[in-house]
Amino acid sequence: MRSAPAITVLLLIGAACGGEAPKDAPPEPAPKQAPAPEKKAEPTQQPPHARAKERAAMVQVALVDWGVKDETVIEAMKRCPRHRFVPGHLQSRAYWNRPLPIGHDQTISQPTIVGSMTEELKLTATSRVLEIGTGSGYQAAVLAEITPYVYSIEIKAPLAESAKKALQEAGYTSVQQRTGDGYYGWPEEAPFDAIIVTAAAPHVPPPLVKQLKPGGRLILPVGPPFARQDLVLVIKDESGKVFTQSLYAVAFVPLTGSLGKSND
């Protein structure tokens, strides 16, 4: 496992035309034209290559230079249009290697964190992956560039709705979404090959470990709210034995919901 500098992720948190008239003909009065019907605003649709150079530059700085080596992840983030998940007034910053606010005291995550956490999951084209904390939808979109079997849970209904719209308009229609408490995972769709949590929990949620397949990997920040946390990798081996490893220091907003207290 590579050593890496501590990363702080600040999760703070769209005439008609016709033939020429004869020269000696008297001029005809201009026809009255009915006012054009008001057009409804349509979502901006951009081709897949839109802002590709910016994405490539971002990936070089945020992933390659930092140490991400998984070509599957690198290529996925080169394809994934981060600007489609950034508020309109922040479009000029869409490919900065920084988190950006998306409302509701949340952000679209820093590209380095997205790439690093995704790499640790070791996904394949057939992996079933659960995301806790849909947020803007960007992390789910990156996952969907690798596998069509992506399930994402968001506890804040307005974010869940905006992410759903952004994912559909960007073409990521295979992502399955749910609004609810991510601490308990998605038991109806378990088990999962990989689980990623994008908010800090005070401990590793037992329901998520239970929903992990033998051989599966879970990554999440663990620690107190609004303080230094550890990015923790949980691996369940083929026999079902669980191992944990601390990767590097991070700072995420806390995971919200019951945190299992309702079952105590």
Catalytic center residues: 109
Q: Per residue in 181-220, pLDDT tens?
A: 999 999 999 999 999 999 999 999 999 999 999 999 999 9
Q: Per residue in 82-97, pLDDT tens?
A: 999 999 999 999 999 9
The answer to whether 205 and 183 are in contact (CB under 8 A) is: yes
pTM for the whole structure: 0.81
Q: Please give the tally of structural domains in the chain.
A: 1
Q: How far apart are CA 135 and CA 147, in angstroms?
A: 19
Is 30 part of a structural domain of the chain? no
The enclosing domain of 223 has a CATH number of 3.40.50.150
Is 12 part of a structural domain of the chain? no
Is 134 part of a structural domain of the chain? yes
Q: Among all chains, which residue has been given the structure tokens 């309702």?
A: 262
pLDDT recorded at residue 7 = 44
Q: What range does the domain containing 85 cover?
A: 52-263
Is 86 part of a structural domain of the chain? yes
